[in-house]
A and B are shown apart, each in its own frame.
Chain A
Amino acid sequence: MTLSNIFLIILVLAIVGFIAARIMVVRSAAGDIRQIHSGKNYYGWFVAIACSAPAILVLVAWMLVQFIAVPNSIVSGISQTEIDAVGSRSLVMTQIQDVASGLSKAVAQGEITQVQAIDPNVDVVELQKRFANVGVALGSGITEEVMRKAQLYRAKMADWSFWRNIAVLAVSFIGFAFALSRVNKDFRSRNAVERFLLVVLGAAASIAVLTTIGIVLSMLFETRRFFGMYPAMDFFFGTEWAASFHGDSKLGFLPLLWGTLYISLVAMMVAVPIGLFAAIYLSEYASKATRSFAKPLLEILAGIPTIVYGLFALLTVGPLLLTIFGADGLGWMADGRAVITAGLVLGVMLIPFVSSLSDDIINAVPQSLRDGSFGLGATQSETVKQVILPAALPGIAGAVLLAASRAIGETMIVVMGAGATAAVFYESPDRYLNPFEIMTTITTRVVAQLTGDGAFNSPETLVAFALGLTLFCLTLMLNVYALYIVRKYQEQYV
């Protein structure tokens, strides 16, 4: 029985329960609906929820256990010779799962029969040929053991699924019967339904937490696998990045970190002065009309999708810089993609981030400070420089840090504008200090490693998770710190 059939049965049960409960409760009050505690529909919902919610919970829990327990029971039985031949236990397990899904696919397309798929005497070479017919590529050499284990895997899975279906349907029917037995005119079904609703609302709120946990766990898990194949020290302190999907790569993190920070630095050098001066002008000098016209226009820059900026960097700014600094101009630049290209465009994108946040913070500085300063005879710019900016400095620092965290995590602009070659530290300073050179970043490499054609179990692919985790931690620290100082500052004048 497939999953969708199970759901269909539960749905039918819920609908039947809904209608039955409505009829039964009216009957229990002998047709006088004023005697029923809650509205009729609440009784219907009560039964519908009772026969679907627990059943679906059981289903999900069962499947989580199933997909941990079955592979575990298989993986412990793998022989040492097989592990030595392939490399690691988990690699053998992956092979087994691939073969198992290949078998299922072959059965589904009618290439082999169900009997053949579980037959322990079937010829391995023959089966492998059949796989090719259904488009399952398993590479060469499935050993006898892998094939048998794959068959065992499928058999166990089928067993578990069978009992799962029974359990789920049983829970659903029990819920149905139990709920219907509770339905009578004195039962407070509204309270029960509302309690359930509250749990659902709470669960929705916890999805935000689950997402964070999912992010951290999924990346931690894969990062651990990566560090099993590639020493953590070599990753964090390696000074060379040379990834090749043929294996034997040097996956040093430092060149990528340098590229990321360098591009972010260029971006901040564009965004901070422009953003800050714009904020000062808008909040201290501009007339109401100018403000209401310039502020939303500047903020449009933040609403434009990053792909637009990426294309702008790749096709407009890069070639433009190349005509000035390239071989026909000053001869400093070899490729349109460079630190300066990505940095400039990224900087433009960040202008509104800096200006909006700083604007809010400057506006939060109390008017009395300004009045005091003017009273002492200071000009407006002196007031800004010597009174307002020092007062707003922590908040502005927070705004700048938030913008920096954006810059570090930005992907499309650097993918399209900064190029793919990592900084090289030991040849000449040109290869890591020159802003007109190509330099790659953390986010760029995450995209490249995960969309490349490496096997998923290779360190070249898994390194992306280590990079992602480091990026996540880096931006999280920046964000938390920035939000902390922004908040702390805001409270000062309230």
Chain B
Amino acid sequence: MSDIAHTSLYTETPRMKKRHAAEARFRAYGLTAIGIGLAMLIYLVFTIVSSGYNAFFQTRLTVEIPLSEEAITKAGKGVLKTSAYKKIIGASLREELARAGIETDMSDKEMVAIFSGKAAVELRTAVGTALKAELVSKGVEVPGELKDQEYDTVLSKKEFAELRPFLVENPQVLGSTVQFDFLAQSYVDGYMKGRITREIAERSKNISVAQLDLVDQMREAGILRKGFNTAFITGNDASEAYPEGAGYGPAILGSFAMMLVVAFLAITVGVAASIFLEEFAPKNKLTDLIEVNIANLAAVPSIVFGILGLAVFINYLGPLSGDDWLKNNSAFVGGLVLSLMTLPTIIIATRASLKAVPQSIRDAALGVGASKMQTVFHHVLPLAAPGILTGSIIGLAQALGESAPLLLVGLVLAQGAAAPESIGDFFGGPNTAMPAQIYQWSTRADPAFYERAWGGIIILLLFLVTMNAVAVILRRRFERRW
């Protein structure tokens, strides 16, 4: 001690040096911790955007297809109809290449493999639909049993012989040339986006280097280009083999259905419960129990709510109600589960904003003769509404991103989720949700689906950011200081 006492406070002793170094170190640890946290956030956002933005673009080929009467008739007559259309596509592409001055010695089969596997079916459907439209426009009664794509058989089948003249005389479709936009297959798309390289192509069965060379030439000639892909947002899910055609349409609708259920149930029940607890409940053991319960429910793992949904809504109440909505895969059950999960969030927010309404408002209302109930519903609730709304939106956003409980109530469809056809289907039919669809695609083998999973996350986060922004704006706009 004595050697310290003799020196001036302005001279730094070794001990002080050590203490100041420790101080600086400690400060640096803190800054590093925040730095790591923020760096993770930036890395996460960067990963999402860089891996996902490509999903919004898709490679397409524009080819002029001459719809000759002879070729369509032949295609409708054949046993393997799509292979006939593949031939048409191949031949058309060859002419297109010749016009653009590109020479190739590639076989038709290899050339058609650049297109999506569904290209032939797409073309056939388009031709069929056009033929049907032509029949309708000429005032002919169309055979009801035919699907759209089957109208090419009208040209060759005997039972439709009397219809044939309508298509052949003064034809609108046959003999014309239409510009057709085809999806490229996912490896070509991957090449355009830089995911597939020539080294990969050398080892791949799905694409060859020669095909990639042709793709390069077609890109320069403008036959093949990358464009915005609305089908990614609106289209149906596709099976494992057609990542190029898969979209989030049904998943977005499913999530929307669930949000409707949550908005209706969780908000009404949550607000009612909060009013009771905040304005009417007597202070006793029972209300204490309810309070503790709500605090604990907020911390129960979300998957437990999924187990509850499966056991109670699907296995117990499902057969009991005989209703179509309480079953596996139904968006309604998903909504119920998410509602229970969101309830504590909404109750906590609502109680806070009810508490913020000053007592003088209640006193004034009671003073002019309103009943307790009228005071709450006519005065307190409207004044607390902005806060309640903000809390509810945040609760909804939380529910929108939740996926674990949805897996348990079957909202992950193995493949091919399609858009619902009716209101009943919208809530009760086989359904999926945004996060569940993202999870589903992450389990598939083709990396093309991973890109789409990241793309889905961009869509999901856009929704979440919008909802949170609305909540913040509402709070800023209507917040009242008493």
Contacts and interface: CB of A to CB of B under 8 A. Distances in A.
B102 interface: no
B307 A450 contact: yes
A269 to B, nearest CB: 13
Contact of A446 (B303, B308, B347): B303
B220 interface: no
Contact of A281 (B27, B41, B290, B300): B27
Interface in A404-450: 405-406, 408-412, 415-416, 443, 446-447, 450
A198 B307 CA distance: 32
Nearest to A212: B293
Nearest to A402: B299
Given A214-B312, A311-B438, A381 B272 contact: no
Interface stretch (A226-234, A270-278, A391-399): A270-278
Interface in A62-79: 63-64, 67
Interface string A446-482: 1100110000100000001100100110011001100
Interface in B267-299: 268-270, 272-273, 275-277, 280-281, 287, 289-290, 293-297, 299
Interface string A185-217: 000001100100110111011111101101100
A379 B344 CA distance: 43
A390 B468 CA distance: 37
A306 interface: yes
A93 interface: no
Nearest to B316: A218
B33 A308 contact: no
Interface in B1-45: 19-20, 22-23, 25-27, 29-34, 36-38, 40-41, 44
Interface stretch (B55-63, B65-73, B383-391, B452-460): B452-460
Contact of B48 (A282, A298, A308): A308
A218 to B, nearest CB: 4
Interface string B446-471: 00001001100100110010001000
B246 to A, nearest CB: 16
A310 interface: yes
A215 B308 contact: yes
A301 B373 CA distance: 41
Dominant secondary structure of chain A at its interface with chain B: helix
Given A3-B322, A443-B303, A476-B300, A201 B275 contact: yes
Contact of A381 (B23, B38, B310): B23
Interface string B379-419: 00000000000000000010011111001101010000000
A63 B22 CA distance: 71
B275 A294 contact: no
Contacts of B315: 456
B33 A273 contact: yes
A307 B457 contact: yes
Interface string B413-443: 0000000000000000000000100110010
Contacts of B468: 303
A298 B37 CA distance: 6
Given A274-B36, A351-B40, A205 B277 contact: yes
A266 B412 CA distance: 30
Contacts of A107: none
Nearest to A190: B371
A221 B464 CA distance: 37
Contact of A211 (B297, B323, B442, B454): B297
A101 interface: yes
A374 B27 CA distance: 17
B53 to A, nearest CB: 15
A411 B302 contact: yes
Given A205-B276, A274-B37, A381-B27, A198 B311 contact: no
A222 B300 CA distance: 19
B439 A307 contact: yes
Contacts of B40: 301, 348, 351
B345 to A, nearest CB: 12
B349 interface: no
B343 A211 contact: yes
B171 interface: no
B83 interface: no
A222 B371 CA distance: 47
B304 interface: yes
Contacts of B30: 277-278, 280-282, 284-285
B295 to A, nearest CB: 6
B51 interface: yes
A3 B412 CA distance: 30
Contacts of A464: 307
B297 A212 contact: yes
A464 B308 CA distance: 12
A471 B277 CA distance: 29
Nearest to B276: A201
B33 A315 contact: no
Contact of A305 (B27, B306, B402): B402
Contacts of A67: 319-320
A308 B294 CA distance: 27
B177 interface: no
Contacts of A384: 26
Contacts of A90: none
Contacts of A412: 403-404, 435, 439
A208 B300 CA distance: 12
A209 B290 contact: yes
Interface in B331-349: 340, 343-344, 347
B273 A306 contact: no
A443 B37 contact: no
Given A211-B343, A303-B464, A465-B307, A311 B273 contact: no
A352 B37 CA distance: 8
B78 interface: no
A218 B312 CA distance: 7
A194 B303 CA distance: 38
Given A207-B273, A208-B273, A208-B347, A355 B37 contact: yes
B239 interface: no
B301 interface: yes
B435 A307 contact: yes
A471 B34 CA distance: 32
Nearest to A443: B303
B289 A211 contact: no
A461 to B, nearest CB: 10
Interface in A288-312: 294, 297-298, 300-301, 303-308, 310-312
A310 B439 contact: yes
B204 interface: no
B123 to A, nearest CB: 33
A411 B303 contact: yes
Contacts of B176: none
B442 A311 contact: yes
Contacts of A298: 34, 37-38, 41
Nearest to B408: A450
Contacts of A456: 315
B407 A451 contact: yes
Given A101-B319, A411-B303, A382 B442 contact: no
Contacts of A405: 299
12 contacts: A200-B272, A202-B281, A205-B281, A212-B293, A218-B311, A275-B33, A298-B38, A300-B41, A305-B464, A312-B44, A315-B51, A348-B37
Interface of B: 19-20, 22-23, 25-27, 29-34, 36-38, 40-41, 44, 47-48, 51, 268-270, 272-273, 275-277, 280-281, 287, 289-290, 293-297, 299-308, 310-312, 315-316, 319-323, 340, 343-344, 347, 371-373, 397, 400-404, 407-408, 410, 412, 435, 438-439, 442, 450, 453-454, 457, 460-461, 464, 468
What 6 A-B pairs have minimum CB-CB distances, sorted nearest first?
A: A409-B301, A305-B401, A281-B30, A277-B33, A204-B272, A381-B26
Given A222-B311, A316-B47, A381-B27, 19 more contacts: A3-B323, A63-B321, A101-B319, A201-B275, A214-B312, A276-B33, A278-B33, A280-B30, A301-B37, A307-B401, A308-B44, A315-B454, A351-B37, A351-B40, A402-B299, A411-B404, A446-B303, A468-B307, A483-B296
